[in-house]
């Protein structure tokens, strides 16, 4: 077994097991670690959307970033990089989040939902595969974002510092005026959470292995099309580890109906994640990978994450995000518009005229 394959399997197993453990410790069902959902909650805590059930600074987000930082320190490869097509990356982040919130989860949560017995996630995974395939088609025909430039390590460390300050502010209950942020839900999905310490420690471990191994759920799917199956074993490990622990904890529920924080609209589960998968492919990584890379000094990934947070605000302020009851009336239009905008970005970044 190669070193890379071993690391991919360990990374997937750690992610799947720790996510299931975090559900046991208080996180929402099949949502032990979801980059999209937790960025949405954190966005709400900052007041960028007004859904009072989805406002909480999720320590897991900061933990993944710090885990990426720790891996970079251990590997001595912390490097400040920036300047690669920031507007394209930001916009891709916006529509990636819109697609995720139509489906109700990022790629990690899609696999974790399968590990909890939620078969509605199958259509999201199929959509993710379709989105990655479309992204690969753009890349084969010359799609490429601008070259990355080096930047100072001190500047690259700023998002990490700000993340830690945000966590501290949330822990001490800092409040900016009677009606000002930082907000914290008292009921609803965001009110369900494990302790700050458990969330932070387990997420640091996940972020460390993601950055150390280079694991990416979107990259794993893309490599299968090239007949490279090493990274996909990490995805299989996520599902297996989550399944085993969910069974052990009594949190496994097989079926299509009444799954936690999920809906069974087949078409829009598929299309929502197709849009998200296309955005992740064109941005060169899933949101979990981007969070870990942010801890390694990659400001391009920070821009993408900021785009996702903007997408969370847009999704909830414009009633685009789904709920357990299903999609909203406006979601289909947003997804279709997303395909148009993201395709425009794809064509605009083609460096040779092969299309």
The answer to whether position 353 is within a domain reads no
The answer to whether position 122 is within a domain reads yes
Rounded mean pLDDT, 95-111: 98
What is the domain range of residue 302? 3-348
The answer to whether position 234 is within a domain reads yes
Rounded mean pLDDT, 323-346: 97
Q: Give yes or no for a cis peptide into 182 (omega within 30° of 0).
A: yes
pLDDT of 353: 56
Distance between CA atoms of residues 32 and 111, nearest Å: 11
The answer to whether position 355 is within a domain reads no
Cβ neighbours of residue 256 closer than 8 Å, sequence gap 6 or more: 119, 120, 264
The answer to whether position 21 is within a domain reads yes
pLDDT of 147: 87
For the chain, how many structural domains are there in total? 1
Cβ-based burial of 268 (10 A; exposed 0-12, middle 13-18, buried ≥19): buried
Helix, strand or coil, per DSSP, at residue 82: strand
Distance between CA atoms of residues 184 and 176, nearest Å: 13
Distance between CA atoms of residues 291 and 314, nearest Å: 20
Q: Is the pLDDT of residue 355 over 60?
A: no
**Whole-number percent of the chain with pLDDT over 90:** 96
Q: What is the mean pLDDT of the chain?
A: 96
Q: pLDDT digits over 174-231, tens only?
A: 999 888 999 999 999 999 999 999 999 999 999 999 999 999 999 999 999 999 999 9
Strands, E assignment, the chain: 81-82, 149-150
State the Rg of the chain over Cα: 19
pLDDT of 177: 87
pLDDT of 281: 98
pTM: predicted TM-score of the whole model, two decimal places: 0.96
Query: DSSP character for 71?
Result: H
Answer with the residue of higher pLDDT: 23 or 177: 23
pLDDT of 179: 86
pLDDT of 1: 56
pLDDT confidence tier of residue 300, bands split at 50, 70 and 90: very high
Q: pLDDT digits over 253-277, tens only?
A: 999 999 999 999 999 999 999 999 9
The answer to whether position 25 is within a domain reads yes
Distance between CA atoms of residues 77 and 352, nearest Å: 32
Distance between CA atoms of residues 339 and 315, nearest Å: 16
- C-alpha pair distances (Å), 306 with each of 19, 42, 295: 24, 11, 14
DSSP secondary structure of 259-318 = -TT----HHHHHHHHHHHHHHHHHHTS-HHHHHHHHHTTBHHHHHHHHHHHHHHHHHHHT
Rounded mean pLDDT, 136-158: 95
Distance between CA atoms of residues 11 and 9, nearest Å: 5
pLDDT confidence tier of residue 89, bands split at 50, 70 and 90: very high
Rounded mean pLDDT, 326-351: 97
């Amino acid at each position: 077994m190669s070193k890379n394959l071993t690391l991919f399997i360990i990374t997937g197993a750690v992610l799947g097991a720790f996510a299931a453990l975090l559900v046991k410790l208080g996180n929402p069902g099949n949502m032990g670690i979801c980059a999209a959902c937790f960025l949405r909650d954190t966005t709400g805590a900052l007041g960028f959307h007004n859904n009072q059930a989805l406002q909480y600074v999720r320590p897991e987000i900061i933990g993944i970033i710090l885990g990426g930082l720790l891996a970079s320190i251990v590997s001595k490869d912390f490097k400040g990089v920036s300047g690669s097509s920031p507007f394209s990356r930001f916009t891709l982040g916006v529509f990636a989040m819109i697609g995720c919130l139509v489906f109700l989860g990022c790629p990690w949560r899609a696999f974790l939902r399968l590990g909890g017995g939620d078969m509605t996630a199958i259509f999201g995974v199929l959509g993710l595969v379709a989105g990655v395939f479309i992204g690969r088609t753009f890349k084969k025909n010359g799609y490429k974002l601008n070259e990355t430039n080096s930047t100072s390590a001190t500047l690259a460390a700023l998002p990490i510092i700000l993340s830690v300050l945000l966590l501290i502010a949330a822990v001490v209950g800092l409040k900016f005026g009677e009606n000002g942020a930082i907000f914290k839900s008292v009921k609803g999905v965001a009110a369900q959470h494990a302790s700050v310490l458990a969330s932070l420690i387990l997420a640091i471990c996940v972020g460390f292995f993601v950055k150390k191994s280079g694991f990416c759920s979107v990259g794993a799917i893309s490599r299968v099309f090239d007949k490279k199956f090493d990274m996909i074993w990490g995805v299989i490990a996520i599902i297996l580890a989550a399944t085993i622990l969910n069974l052990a904890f009594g949190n496994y529920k097989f079926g299509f109906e009444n799954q936690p924080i999920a809906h069974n609209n087949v078409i829009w589960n598929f299309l929502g994640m197709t849009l998200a998968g296309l955005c992740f492919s064109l941005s060169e990584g899933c949101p979990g990978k981007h969070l870990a890379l942010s801890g390694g000094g990659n400001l391009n990934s920070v821009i993408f994450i900021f785009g996702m947070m903007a997408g969370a605000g847009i999704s909830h302020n414009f009633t685009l995000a789904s709920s357990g009851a299903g999609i909203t009336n406006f979601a289909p239009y947003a997804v279709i518009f997303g395909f148009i905008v993201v395709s425009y970005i794809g064509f605009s970044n083609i460096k040779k005229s092969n299309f």
